[in-house]
Each structure stands twice: as structure tokens, then as C-alpha cells.
């Protein structure tokens, strides 16, 4: 819909742009500024990938221009359990996303479709959880999980990940559901569907793009989560990617090559998943429904 | 023709004292009526009168707050929408966007787990009747507005429902298509001989399609009756004003010894009706231009709409009361002209109580209602 | 809204229960536990014995502690106010630049947007990591270049020098958090109706007038929502400061989030940490109330 709304003005504007002359000084300034901005935004990311293929030694001092490329850093991080961390992250985030998204679909469907008392409080509660500083919950959660012997337990972390992603998943999903006319639900009910059948046959297929966007976003949030993971996972073999990345910072000496390779590996899935959903998320954001 | 098809001695639909409240707001109050099998009933009223809510109560999409709903001698008040065996055509059509025309029409039968062969033959039959055969494998978004509308009707037909419910089904069509579809709907009703309940805000649709019309205002039934009854014997000023286009003229005045008198109008010869303050109602088609200074009074013309076969003259009495009248053919009148008007027949006049708006029966032979 | 009879109430409850049951378990219990602990002298080393009830002592201690005042100042001023203001102002300016006719004509809009996506997609922990390397005193690119070009004789330890540490941390935050503002505002600017500009052109408005009377009012709601969200996220953030400076040098760049952590896991004073946490949550709540009243009720008002 935004495409339809946006295209005609863009065309109009371009036409007008051609008729108007810009001074060469302004044009040069715009080009310089653009190059600087692109450099500012892109160079650190480019640097991660570039440096991850450089020998660690060349990253110290001013030897960074050497055109020596190596897979040494990747081999290095792999040797240091990075595969393990990646598997842990995939396992934890994968399962959590499935649970979180399913639970969010159920709740947001009812929130968007049914009238019931105290709904306002439910929304208010969601806001509360969204703005709550997670750091404050670290100690209580740590103590609670320690009591039930759930430290170093992946399922405990999954529970946390499901709940921290639920509030904005529900917001996002309610937004997507609002775009589906309620007449469709009613038509399905008239056609003899039960409430569950209505969801299964009518709502879920139509909500699929929204579900994908929401799930991707939840996944990214979990994929990069650090705080809860560091509180709940102390055993190295159980750690997730962000914790693994932090492990490469030694006390005094930092193996920058390895750190860059680890960063590159952590960022790549995020980049690949993020790009396809970004426009949908930008749309949701101005409505104030996404956690960034 | 309808009587031959009627199989049940019970009403197809009966409402007993149905009430609907939203929190503290009363949307519908004490509704009771019954619909004979095979009837085409239109529910009309201004927006916000509760007509859509009423349809949704019948459909089972909304729960009643009080009262009972019966379908063919079965209490369905607590039954869910699916269990009632009704079909509804939505204003928006509500076609499933991800399903083809065929799948849309077959969906209810699939949910009901009907055999495949039966589903196919019923869909084919409906598609033939609605000329949709060429579009069965298209998605709703690939269809025109009129085609979508027919798919929505097809989806209802396929179910062979006890009662068809229509929620303003023509309001999304343009004027030409609307008139055409109206005729098609009338034909469909004849062919299927099914009971149909039809909600609309357009009284012309109601008058042309329905056997029975229910006029709803502020959550209450104002009158239920045939189009003729509503037109000729409106129960109150609201019904009188709602039915008929252009609207009925209302003039307040007094009546005494058979003479109606307002500031500008004087109508004698009305028989011995009750005396006192009264509202006169007269339809534009019952008024005519008077030849000379006879007539019942004088209006100042504000505008004349020429429609070819007739003209609609809008004017005002001296006290500002608007008056509309219809004349055959064209008239030579200009804005500001003052003309005399007359009535064709005293029997075409309606009288209403100025306080309650209730109809006051004029004929001296009929005893006053208790 | 769909209607439902009494037996279908079960359906509604069943659908809501998992989500709200889990969030309540996750948020409510720790919150209550936290508030309770804030009135005790519970120690991380004495969890088994539990803490002694000390009333408001923890809170009184905090408000009399000048170091804590500095922590609050750091959080509200440096971490939140400065970094959010820079992001909003710069972000909106860059969005205007990206969407300007000149940049459009030069066909630089798309490359600029693509470049801006990169920091947004970068996890905060990676952002801190790479900038730590860039800022590094011995091996960092910036120091290398500055030394090479002769601007400085001694490398600057950006993240360990009180005069540079906040600008350096804020640079990291801005790099990571600017694109979300730029891209969202760019999208918002595209929705300004063109006929408004044309009407302004017909009225002979100058470009500055057009900005104030057409562009700015139209972009303001999105900017306000972004500002509010960014404020909440930044205020709550632990990663940026902790991973880049560990609240140092010393406790120079200490903020509320890191202070909660330090008191609990370094000083083992759980009671005090809980009091700080409660204070922090209460402050966050102020933003939450604004967010609820002006964004959520507006956005989902029809459903409530």
C-alpha cells in the first residue's frame, strides 16, 4: 500500500527536480557530504569483514595496509568452540522464536478481535514490560533460577527469550491483524468454522507475511541478546554467540583478528535476515510498536 | 407462487422481545416480529438505528442481551453463527483473498465435510446460475466489483441456507450496476423461493425488493408491513417521512370542526376529526399547482428540478416551512415566483400527533385507537 | 469486534493465558522481589540466610551519596539526553538531506539508505566491539592515522580518558542508533502530500517557510514517537557503557544500569542494587506512562 501511495509523488518530484538548477557548489557539497555519510555508516562494517581476513599481527601497529589475506582467524575461532556457540544460539533462538511467535499470534488475535473487560490494562501491562529495564531483573531472575537449579539450563534461557520478545511481537502482530478486515472472520464463522478453524484456514494464511516479519525480528533480538545469557549461562560449552564474542577479549591482550572473525560470524545472519524485513519494520516503527 | 413451496407451518424466523445492550447503551429494544417462509423482508432505517446490529443478532455474530430468536420452530438464541444454518452476504463481500472463487464458494461445504462430488456439483450449479463459470479459478482481487458481489451471493447459495441475510449488499456498487443487481436479486428470490432478510439504508431498494419492510429507528421497530401499507398508512411521522422520495411535507397547525388551519394553509372538508394542535403530512405527489388564487395556500418557489417526465418544485410557505411538490411534465416557474398549491384528494392527507408523532386516524367512521 | 457467548469465553482466555501468564511470571515476580529486597541488606554471598529488614536505609544511603548523584547525572545527561538529542537532530537532518531533490537527482538516495542499513543491522555488542578496536590506544585506526599524520605525539586512549570517554561512547551509540532515525524519518518524509508543497509554491513560499509550515509539522509525530522510544531504550541500555568502558575509567562513566550490575555482582550488595533498580524502573515508568498515553492509546485506541 505504501508503494502505491509513494510512487506517484516520487515521479512528480523527479520531474520538477530536472527543471530546477542547482549551483555547482551545492552539488559538490552534496556529493562530499554523501560520501562522508556513506563512509561513516559503512566503514566499520566493512572493516569487520576486512580485518577478519587479516593476520592478527598486522592489525597491531600501522601494518593494516598489507595485502595479506588469511583464514587463520576463522580457523582460530572455530577451534575455540565458536561452532558450539553458534549451534547453541541457533538452537535456543530457533525454538524460542517458534514458541514466542505462536503465543503472540494467539494473544494478538484475541486482542484485535474480541471485546472484553480490562483490555486496556492488558495493553498497559505490555507497555510496562516493554519499557522495563531488563538489567533490574537480572538479580531476581538469577536467584529464582538458582533456586530451581536452572542456571546453565538452555530451557530457562528460552523461557526468558520468549517472554522478552512477546510484548512487541504482540504489538506488531496486532498491527498486522488490524489490516485484515474482521468481516473475514465473520464470514468464516457464518460458513460454519469454529474459532480455531477460522484462525487456521483464514487468518493464519493471510497473516503469514506479518508472522515472518515478527519472527525475524524476535530472532534478531534473541540472537544478539547478551545480558540474560551472561547471567544464566556460566558453563563455556553452553554459551551463546554474543557471550562467545565477549570471550575473545582477554584481560590484557586482545586477539583482534579472532574478535573480528567472531563479529563477522555474529553479524552475518543478522544482516541477511534483517534486510528483507527492514521496510516492513520501518513502517511499524513510526507507529511505535517495535523494539529496536 | 410462494405458497406452493412453503413446507413448514412455522415462521422461518421469529424474534421474541429481543434486546441488545452495549454496556449501558440500549441498541435494540423489545423487538418482536416473525418472517414467513419464502418472504423477502427488508430492514430499513437511518444509519445508527441498529439495523446492522439486528442482522448480526439474527446471524449469531452478536449475542442477544435478552429475548429469544427462533428459526423454523427451533430456539437458536444460544447457537453459534455456524450452527444456525444461515448464510450472509456482507457489505464488503468478505471474500477470502487467498482462496479462488471456487474455493471461496466451496469453503463452507468443506468445513461441513460434505462429500467431494456434492461440493463440486453445488459449486458448479451456483456458478452457472451466477455466470461465474469462467472465473472459478481466479482470486477475488482479479475480479470486478460486480463479479465479487456475485461470488459473495454464490457463496451463500451453495450452502442452501434456511435464511439468506444481506447486509447492504449493493452499497459498494455504482448506480447503474446497483439497479441491475437489484433486478437480479429479485429474480434470485423468485427462483430460490428462499427466505431473505435484507438490510439497507436505501428505502427505494427496500420498496422495490421486499414483500415486507421493517422500519427501524433508535433501536425500535416503527412499523412492519408491506411496501403499500407503509406508503399509504404510515403509523407515525417518522415512517411517513422515511418512506417515499421526495419526502413527505409536514406542516404544523390546528384542526377544528373538520378544518385544518396553519399560518399559511387552510384545508376544509376533513370530516369530524379530533380538534387541537396537529401535524399535517402530505406527499409531494398529492400536491399540485392550483390554477388561480384558489387552492389551499401559496408558496414561494426556491428551485425547480426538471426531470423530463416530471418536475419537482421546492418552495416555502410564508412562515418558512419547506414544501415539495411533483408536477407532470415541465413547468414555467422561476425562483421567487409565488404560486398557489392545491391537493388532489383529501384522502391523501395524513395527520400526526405533534407530540408523539403517532398517526391520527382521520376517518370519522373508524373509532379512535386505544 | 467479534462477539462471543459464555462458553466461548474459554477460547478468549485460553488464547491470552500463555502470553500473559508467561510475561507476568517473568516480569511481575522479579519486580516484586526486587522491591522487597530493596528494603533489606541482602548480600549475594548470604543468599541462603536472606537479608535483614533495613527499611528505607538503602534509599537514604543513595540519596545522600554524591557518587550516586553523578551516576544519575551520567545516565540522564550523557547517556540519554546528549546521545538522544544528537541522534534526533542529526537523524532528521540526514533524512532531509537524503530525501532532498539534489541528492535524488544525483541518484545518491539509494546508496545512502543502503549504507544506513548496515549499522542498524549490526548487533549492539558487535558495534561496541568494532569501535573499541577503532578507538584502541595501541592498535586502533584512529590513533594510527593521527600519529601518522602528526596530529598527536602520544596515542589517545579514547575509552579510558575522562576527557574523551563520553564523546567516544556517544559516538558508538550514535553510529549504531542513528540509522533507525534516519530511515524512519526518511520514510515519514515521503508521506508528506506533494500538493501541500505545490500549494506552498503557488503561494510563493520560501524553502525555509515550506520546511516550517509543511515538512516539519508533518514529520513531528514520527519524530516524537522515535524520540520517546529511543529515550527509553537508551536509558535502559547496559551493553554500550559496560562493554565499551566497564563504567570506567574508575567509575567515571558509570550509569544506572551498570551501577545495578556493579553493586550486585562486584560489591555483592543485592539490597542496595535492588534499591537502585527500583529507582531506575520508577524513572523508566515515567517514560512508559507518556508512551502509553500518547502512543499506545492513540495507536490501539479503537481496540480498547
Cell numbers that stand for B124 in this block? 458448479
Which SS3 state, helix, strand or coil, does residue B261 take?
strand
**pLDDT for position B270:** 79
A7 CB within 8 Å of a chain B CB: no
Per-residue H/E/C for C257-275: HHHHHHHHHHCCEHHHHHH
Closest CA to C83 of C226, C230, C288: C230
Q: How deeply is B62 buried, as exposed, middle or buried, from its count of CB atoms within 10 A (0-12, 13-18, 19+)?
A: buried
Q: How far apart are CA C165 and CA B159, in angstroms?
A: 73
- C64-105 pLDDT tens trace: 998 999 999 999 999 999 999 999 999 999 999 998 888 888
A15 CB within 8 Å of a chain C CB: no
C1, C3, C6, C12: best to mutate for the B interface, most B CBs within 10 A: C3
**pLDDT for position A9:** 41
**pLDDT for position C213:** 86
- A41-70 pLDDT tens trace: 999 999 899 888 888 766 665 555 566 788
As a residue count, chain A comes to: 292
Beta strands in chain B (DSSP E): 13-22, 25-35, 40-44, 66-71, 74-75, 86-89, 163-167, 195-200, 212-217, 220-225, 249-256, 259-261, 266-267, 276-282, 287-289, 297-306, 310-316, 322-328, 338-343, 349-352
Question: Considering the domain C43-303 in this protein, what is its CATH number?
Answer: 1.10.3720.10
The percent of residues above 70 in pLDDT, for chain B, comes to 94
Distance from CA of A101 to the nearest CA of B (A): 22
The percent of residues above 90 in pLDDT, for chain B, comes to 56
| C47, C120, C123: residue with CB nearest A224 | C123
A41 CB within 8 Å of a chain C CB: yes
Query: How many angstroms separate the most distant Cα atoms in chain A?
Result: 74
**Do B92 and B197 reside in the same domain of the chain?**
yes
Cell numbers that stand for B98 in this block? 487467498
**pLDDT above 60 for B364:** no
**pLDDT for position C296:** 75
Distance from CA of C10 to the nearest CA of B (A): 15
Residue A136 banded pLDDT, cuts 50, 70, 90: confident
Cell numbers that stand for C150 in this block? 602528526
Looking at per-residue pLDDT, the higher value among B40 and A18 belongs to B40
A8 CB within 8 Å of a chain B CB: no
CATH at residue B274: 2.40.50.140
Cα separation of the two ends of chain C: 10
Cell numbers that stand for B320 in this block? 418558512
Query: Do A30 and C104 lie within an 8 Å CB cutoff?
Result: no
B86 CB within 8 Å of a chain A CB: yes
> What is the ipTM score, two decimals?
0.88
Cell numbers that stand for C299 in this block? 495507536
Long-range contacts of B304-309 (CB under 8 A, 24+ apart): B304/B331, B304/B333, B304/B334, B304/B335, B306/B330
Residue A283 banded pLDDT, cuts 50, 70, 90: confident
Phi-psi region for residue C268, left (φ > 0), alpha (ψ -120 to 50) or beta?
left
Cell numbers that stand for B261 in this block? 388551519
**pLDDT for position A264:** 92
Q: How far apart are CA C284 and CA C233, in angstroms?
A: 10
If you count residue pairs, one on A and one on B, with CB atoms under 8 Å apart, how many are there?
A: 57
Which SS3 state, helix, strand or coil, does residue B143 take?
coil
Distance from CA of C23 to the nearest CA of B (A): 30
Closest CA to B250 of B304, B345, B343, B324: B324
**Do B160 and B308 reside in the same domain of the chain?**
no
**pLDDT above 50 for B124:** yes
**Do B226 and B270 reside in the same domain of the chain?**
no
Looking at per-residue pLDDT, the higher value among A204 and A4 belongs to A204
Query: Do C16 and A110 lie within an 8 Å CB cutoff?
Result: yes
**Do B184 and B276 reside in the same domain of the chain?**
no
Query: Do B108 and A192 lie within an 8 Å CB cutoff?
Result: yes
Distance from CA of B133 to the nearest CA of A (A): 22
Helical axes A154-178 vs A83-113, angle rounded to 10°? 40
Whether the CB-CB separation of A114 and C256 falls below 8 Å is answered with no
| A191, A194, A205: residue with CB nearest B107 | A191
Residue B274 preceded by cis peptide, ω within 30: no
B27, B69, B79, B80: best to mutate for the C interface, most C CBs within 10 A: B80
Query: Would you list the domain boundaries of chain A?
Result: 2-52, 74-286
DSSP summary character for residue A181: -
If you count residue pairs, one on A and one on C, with CB atoms under 8 Å apart, how many are there?
A: 328
Cβ within 8 Å of residue C280, ≥6 positions away: A133, A135, A136, C256, C257, C260
Lowest mean pLDDT among B67-71, B97-101, C142-146, C275-279: C142-146
Residues in chain C within 8 Å Cβ distance of A109: 15
Sign of CA dihedral C193, C194, C198, C204: positive
Sign of CA dihedral B276, B277, B283, B287: positive
Domain enclosing residue B290, as ranges: 246-352
**pLDDT above 90 for B7:** no
β-sheet bridge partners, residue B289 = B341
Query: Do C280 and A136 lie within an 8 Å CB cutoff?
Result: yes
Residue A270 banded pLDDT, cuts 50, 70, 90: confident
**Do B263 and B297 reside in the same domain of the chain?**
yes
The residue-averaged pLDDT of A195-214 equals 91
**pLDDT above 70 for B5:** no
- C209-226 pLDDT tens trace: 888 888 888 888 888 888
Cβ within 8 Å of residue B185, ≥6 positions away: B153, B166, B169, B209
Please name the residue of chain B whose CA is at the shortest distance from the CA of residue A116: B23
- B184-224 pLDDT tens trace: 899 999 988 899 999 999 888 999 999 999 999 999 999 99
Residues in chain B within 8 Å Cβ distance of A191: 82, 107-108, 111, 155, 159
**pLDDT for position C207:** 80
The CA distances from residue A88 to A74, A92, A133, A145, B196, in Å, are 18, 6, 25, 19, 62
- CATH number for the A74-286 domain, one of 1.20.1250.20, 3.30.420.40, 3.50.50.60, 1.10.3720.10? 1.10.3720.10
**pLDDT above 60 for A20:** no
- The count of C-alpha atoms lying within 13 angstroms of the C-alpha of B137, restricted to the half-sphere facing its C-beta, is 0
Cα B287 → chain centroid: 24
DSSP summary character for residue A176: H
Q: How far apart are CA B230 and CA A129, in angstroms?
A: 59
A196 CB within 8 Å of a chain B CB: no
Distance from CA of A183 to the nearest CA of B (A): 5
If you count residue pairs, one on B and one on C, with CB atoms under 8 Å apart, how many are there?
A: 10
Residue C194 banded pLDDT, cuts 50, 70, 90: confident
Query: Do A48 and C299 lie within an 8 Å CB cutoff?
Result: no
Residues in chain C within 8 Å Cβ distance of A31: 106, 108
Distance from CA of C118 to the nearest CA of A (A): 6
**Most confident of the following: A52-61, B262-271, C50-59:** C50-59
Please name the residue of chain C whose CA is at the shortest distance from the CA of residue B56: C3
Residues in chain A within 8 Å Cβ distance of B91: 183
C188 CB within 8 Å of a chain A CB: yes
Number of other residues whose CB lies within 10 A of the CB of residue C216: 14
The residue-averaged pLDDT of B88-109 equals 94
- Give chains near A: 3+ CB pairs under 8 A: B, C
Residues in chain A within 8 Å Cβ distance of C278: 136
B8 CB within 8 Å of a chain A CB: no
- B172-184 pLDDT tens trace: 888 888 888 899 8
Distance from CA of B21 to the nearest CA of C (A): 13
Distance from CA of B45 to the nearest CA of A (A): 22
**pLDDT for position A14:** 44
As a residue count, chain C comes to: 304
Lowest mean pLDDT among C2-11, C190-199, C273-282: C2-11
Nearest 5°: the CA angle B211, B214, B216 is 160
**pLDDT for position A171:** 85
Query: Do C5 and B63 lie within an 8 Å CB cutoff?
Result: yes
The CA distances from residue B104 to A259, B50, B99, in Å, are 56, 29, 6
Query: Do B59 and A187 lie within an 8 Å CB cutoff?
Result: no
Query: Do B61 and C5 lie within an 8 Å CB cutoff?
Result: no
**pLDDT above 50 for C279:** yes
Q: How far apart are CA A242 and CA A85, in angstroms?
A: 9
Q: What share of chain A is helix, strand, coil (3-state, %, to 5)?
A: 80, 0, 20
Residue C181 banded pLDDT, cuts 50, 70, 90: very high
Q: Which residues of C250-273 are buried (b: 16+ CB within 10 A; e: fewer)?
A: ebebbbbbbbbbbbbbeeebbbbb
**Do B256 and B223 reside in the same domain of the chain?**
no
Cell numbers that stand for A12 in this block? 512528480
**pLDDT for position C1:** 67
**pLDDT above 70 for B327:** yes
Query: Do C1 and A113 lie within an 8 Å CB cutoff?
Result: yes
Cell numbers that stand for A241 in this block? 554467540
- Mean pLDDT of chain C, nearest integer: 88
Distance from CA of B142 to the nearest CA of C (A): 28
Q: How far apart are CA C210 and CA A134, in angstroms?
A: 43
Query: What DSSP string runs through B190-211?
Result: HHH--EEEEEES-HHHHHHH-S
**pLDDT above 80 for C180:** yes
- A113-127 pLDDT tens trace: 888 878 888 888 888
Q: How far apart are CA C118 and CA C116, in angstroms?
A: 5
C120 CB within 8 Å of a chain A CB: yes
How many domains does chain B fold into? 2
**pLDDT for position A292:** 37
**pLDDT for position C199:** 83
Residues in chain C within 8 Å Cβ distance of A34: 103, 106, 108, 111-112
Residue A5 banded pLDDT, cuts 50, 70, 90: very low
Query: Do C34 and A282 lie within an 8 Å CB cutoff?
Result: no
**pLDDT for position C94:** 95
**Do B174 and B258 reside in the same domain of the chain?**
no
The residue-averaged pLDDT of A229-241 equals 90
- Mean pLDDT of chain B, nearest integer: 88
Cα B281 → chain centroid: 20
Whether the CB-CB separation of A54 and A69 falls below 8 Å is answered with yes
Residues in chain C within 8 Å Cβ distance of B56: 3
Whether the CB-CB separation of C123 and A266 falls below 8 Å is answered with yes
**pLDDT above 60 for A2:** no
| C108, C281, C304: residue with CB nearest A136 | C281
- Give chains near C: 3+ CB pairs under 8 A: A, B
Query: Do A174 and C303 lie within an 8 Å CB cutoff?
Result: yes
Does residue B207 lie within any of the structural domains? yes
Query: Do C27 and A111 lie within an 8 Å CB cutoff?
Result: no
Amino acid at each position: 500500500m505504501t508503494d502505491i501511495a509513494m510512487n506517484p509523488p516520487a515521479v512528480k518530484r523527479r520531474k520538477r527536480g530536472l527543471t530546477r538548477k542547482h549551483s555547482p557548489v551545492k552539488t559538490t557539497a552534496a556529493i562530499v557530504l554523501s560520501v562522508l555519510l556513506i563512509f561513516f555508516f559503512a566503514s566499520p562494517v566493512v572493516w569487520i569483514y576486512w580485518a577478519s581476513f587479516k593476520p592478527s599481527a598486522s592489525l597491531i601497529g600501522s601494518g593494516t595496509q598489507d595485502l595479506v589475506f588469511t583464514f587463520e582467524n576463522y580457523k582460530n575461532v572455530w577451534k575455540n568452540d565458536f561452532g558450539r556457540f553458534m549451534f547453541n544460539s541457533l538452537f535456543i533462538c530457533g525454538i524460542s522464536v517458534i514458541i514466542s511467535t505462536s503465543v503472540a499470534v494467539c494473544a494478538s488475535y484475541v486482542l484485535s478481535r474480541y471485546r472484553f473487560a480490562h483490555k486496556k490494562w492488558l495493553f498497559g501491562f505490555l507497555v510496562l514490560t516493554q519499557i522495563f529495564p531488563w538489567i533490574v531483573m537480572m538479580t531476581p531472575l538469577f536467584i529464582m533460577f538458582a533456586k530451581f537449579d536452572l542456571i546453565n539450563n538452555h530451557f530457562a534461557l528460552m523461557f526468558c527469550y520468549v517472554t522478552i520478545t512477546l510484548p512487541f511481537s504482540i504489538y506488531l502482530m496486532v498491527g498486522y491483524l488490524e489490516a485484515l478486515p474482521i468481516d473475514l472472520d465473520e464470514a468464516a464463522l457464518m460458513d460454519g468454522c469454529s474459532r480455531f478453524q477460522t484462525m487456521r484456514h483464514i487468518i493464519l494464511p493471510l497473516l503469514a507475511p506479518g508472522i515472518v516479519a515478527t519472527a525475524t525480528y524476535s530472532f534478531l533480538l534473541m540472537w544478539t541478546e547478551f545480558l540474560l545469557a551472561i547471567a544464566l549461562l556460566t558453563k563455556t560449552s553452553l554459551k551463546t554467540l554474543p557471550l562467545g564474542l565477549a570471550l575473545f577479549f582477554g584481560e590484557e591482550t586482545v586477539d583482534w583478528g579472532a574478535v573480528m572473525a567472531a563479529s563477522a560470524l555474529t553479524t552475518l545472519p543478522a544482516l541477511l535476515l534483517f534486510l528483507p524485513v527492514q521496510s516492513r519494520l520501518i513502517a511499524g516503527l513510526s507507529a511505535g510498536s517495535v523494539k529496536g | 407462487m410462494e405458497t406452493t413451496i412453503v413446507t413448514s407451518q412455522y415462521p422461518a424466523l421469529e424474534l421474541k422481545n429481543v434486546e441488545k445492550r452495549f454496556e449501558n447503551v440500549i441498541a435494540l429494544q423489545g423487538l418482536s416480529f416473525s418472517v414467513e417462509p419464502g418472504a423477502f423482508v427488508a430492514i430499513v432505517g437511518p444509519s445508527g438505528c441498529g439495523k446492522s446490529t439486528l442482522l448480526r443478532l439474527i446471524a449469531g455474530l452478536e449475542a442477544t442481551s435478552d429475548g429469544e430468536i427462533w428459526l423454523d420452530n427451533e430456539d437458536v438464541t444460544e447457537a453459534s453463527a455456524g450452527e444456525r444454518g444461515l448464510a450472509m452476504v456482507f457489505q464488503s463481500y468478505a471474500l477470502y483473498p487467498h482462496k479462488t472463487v471456487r474455493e471461496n464458494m466451496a469453503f463452507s461445504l468443506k468445513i461441513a465435510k460434505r462429500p467431494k462430488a456434492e461440493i463440486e456439483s453445488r459449486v458448479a450449479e451456483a456458478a452457472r446460475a451466477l455466470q461465474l463459470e469462467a472465473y472459478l479459478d481466479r482470486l477475488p482481487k482479479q475480479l470486478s466489483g460486480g463479479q465479487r458481489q456475485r461470488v459473495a451471493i454464490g457463496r451463500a447459495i451453495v450452502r442452501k441456507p434456511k435464511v439468506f441475510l444481506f447486509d447492504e449488499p449493493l452499497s459498494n456498487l455504482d448506480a447503474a450496476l446497483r439497479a441491475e443487481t437489484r433486478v437480479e436479486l429479485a429474480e434470485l428470490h423468485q427462483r430460490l423461493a428462499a427466505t431473505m432478510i435484507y438490510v439497507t439504508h436505501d428505502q427505494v431498494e427496500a420498496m422495490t425488493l421486499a414483500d415486507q419492510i421493517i422500519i427501524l429507528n433508535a433501536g425500535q421497530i416503527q412499523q412492519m408491513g408491506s411496501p403499500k401499507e407503509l406508503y399509504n398508512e404510515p403509523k407515525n411521522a417518522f415512517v411517513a417521512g422515511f418512506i417515499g422520495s421526495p419526502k413527505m411535507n409536514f406542516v404544523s397547525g390546528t384542526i377544528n370542526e373538520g378544518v385544518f388551519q396553519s399560518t399559511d394553509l387552510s384545508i376544509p372538508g376533513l370530516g369530524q376529526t379530533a380538534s387541537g394542535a396537529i401535524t399535517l403530512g402530505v406527499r409531494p405527489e398529492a400536491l399540485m399547482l392550483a390554477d388561480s388564487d384558489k387552492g389551499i395556500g401559496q408558496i414561494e418557489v426556491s428551485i425547480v428540478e426538471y426531470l423530463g417526465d416530471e418536475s419537482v418544485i421546492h418552495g416555502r410557505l410564508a412562515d418558512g416551512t419547506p414544501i415539495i411538490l411533483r408536477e407532470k411534465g415541465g413547468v414555467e416557474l422561476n425562483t421567487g415566483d409565488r404560486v398557489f398549491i392545491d391537493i388532489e384528494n383529501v384522502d391523501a392527507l395524513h395527520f400526526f400527533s405533534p407530540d408523539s408523532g403517532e398517526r391520527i386516524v382521520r376517518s370519522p367512521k373508524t373509532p379512535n385507537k386505544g | 469486534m467479534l462477539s462471543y457467548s459464555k462458553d466461548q469465553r474459554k477460547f478468549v482466555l485460553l488464547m491470552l493465558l500463555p502470553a500473559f501468564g508467561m510475561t507476568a511470571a517473568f516480569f511481575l515476580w522479579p519486580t516484586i522481589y526486587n522491591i522487597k529486597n530493596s528494603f533489606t541488606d541482602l548480600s549475594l554471598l548470604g543468599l541462603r540466610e536472606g537479608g535483614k529488614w533495613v527499611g528505607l536505609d538503602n534509599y537514604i544511603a543513595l540519596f545522600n551519596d554524591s557518587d550516586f548523584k553523578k551516576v544519575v547525572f551520567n545516565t540522564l545527561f550523557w547517556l540519554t539526553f546528549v546521545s538522544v538529542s544528537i541522534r534526533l537532530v542529526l537523524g532528521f537532518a540526514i533524512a532531509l538531506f537524503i530525501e532532498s531533490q539534489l541528492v535524488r537527482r544525483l541518484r545518491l538516495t539509494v546508496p545512502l539508505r543502503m549504507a544506513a542499513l548496515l549499522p542498524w543491522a549490526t548487533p549492539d555488542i558487535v558495534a561496541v566491539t568494532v569501535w573499541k578496536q577503532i578507538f584502541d590506544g595501541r592498535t586502533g585506526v584512529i590513533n594510527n592515522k593521527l600519529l601518522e599524520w602528526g596530529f598527536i605525539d602520544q596515542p589517545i586512549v579514547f575509552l579510558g580518558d575522562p576527557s574523551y570517554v563520553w564523546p567516544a561512547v556517544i559516538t558508538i551509540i550514535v553510529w549504531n542508533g542513528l540509522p533507525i532515525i534516519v530511515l524512519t524519518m526518511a520514510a515519514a518524509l515521503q508521506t508528506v502530500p506533494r500538493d501541500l508543497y505545490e500549494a506552498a509554491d503557488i503561494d510563493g513560499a520560501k524553502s525555509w517557510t515550506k520546511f516550517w509550515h509543511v515538512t516539519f509539522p508533518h514529520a513531528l509525530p514520527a519524530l516524537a514517537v522515535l524520540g520517546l522510544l529511543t529515550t527509553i531504550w537508551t536509558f535502559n541500555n547496559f551493553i554500550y557503557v559496560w562493554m565499551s568502558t566497564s563504567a570506567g575509567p574508575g567509575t567515571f562513566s558509570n550509569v544506572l544500569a551498570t551501577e545495578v550490575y556493579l553493586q550486585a555482582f562486584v560489591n555483592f550488595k543485592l539490597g542496595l542494587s535492588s534499591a537502585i533498580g527500583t529507582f531506575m524502573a520508577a524513572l523508566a515508568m515515567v517514560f512508559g506512562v507518556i508512551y502509553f498515553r500518547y502512543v499506545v492509546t492513540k495507536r490501539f485506541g479503537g481496540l480498547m
